[in-house]
Amino acid sequence: MNKTRIITLLSALVVSLAAVSLLWAGTTVEDTFDMKTKEYTEAGGHKYSPVPFTHKKHHEDYKITCGECHHDENGKALELTMGDDVQRCIECHDKLGKAPKGKGKKKLKGKEKRQYHAEAVHDNCITCHKAFNKEFKKKAKDKKAKGPAPTSCKKCHTEGKIKK
């Protein structure tokens, strides 16, 4: 074999290996993880205990697609599969905590309100949980039955407010 042919074959091998590694690249998704955000820790800590999120349960048991939580800047669901790389919520919803409230504060709505990380996460989870519970109640024989999806602070933030 001549030198040019060897270099061409080696180059093709390197490109092939790179392509295969890109196909296998992605994120390992833990079954359950605490929704901790380093930006809160750096700013003095979370106000309430981080929520233990059951990724596997939501995806496999409840058949929730990735796009029901992960969306683009217009709120449109992203077409993802388990293990795809995704941006963290805080990268777009980049204001820590909840939107300011109270006397003299501008009441924020929609996209402006969801700039605040806690507002966006709560809106996403609670809206979905309420819809799930409504469907659950329709199908339940006991019309007073409550759905299994938590919608109150203490049901998600199981350890409550963090004392500092």
Q: What is the pLDDT of residue 21?
A: 57
**pLDDT, position 36:** 85
125 is in an annotated binding site: yes
The CA radius of gyration of the chain, in Å to the nearest whole number, is 22
Task: Say whether 71 counts as a known binding-site residue.
Answer: yes
122 is in an annotated binding site: no
**pLDDT score of 118:** 92
- Annotated binding residue 117: no
pLDDT along the chain (164 residues), means of 10: 76 65 61 84 85 88 90 90 87 92 91 93 94 87 79 89 76
Sign for the CA dihedral angle at 154, 112, 67, 37 comes to: negative
Domains of the chain: 29-156 (3.90.10)
Paired residues of 52 in beta bridges: 34
In 3D space, the residue among 106, 117, 128, 2 whose CA is nearest the CA of residue 50 turns out to be 117
C-alpha of 59 from chain center:
12
The CA-to-CA distance between both ends of the chain, in Å, stands at: 71
- Whether the model clears a pTM of 0.85, i.e. scores above it, the answer is no
Query: Is 89 assigned a ligand-binding role in the annotation?
Result: no
Q: Is 69 known as a binding-site position?
A: yes
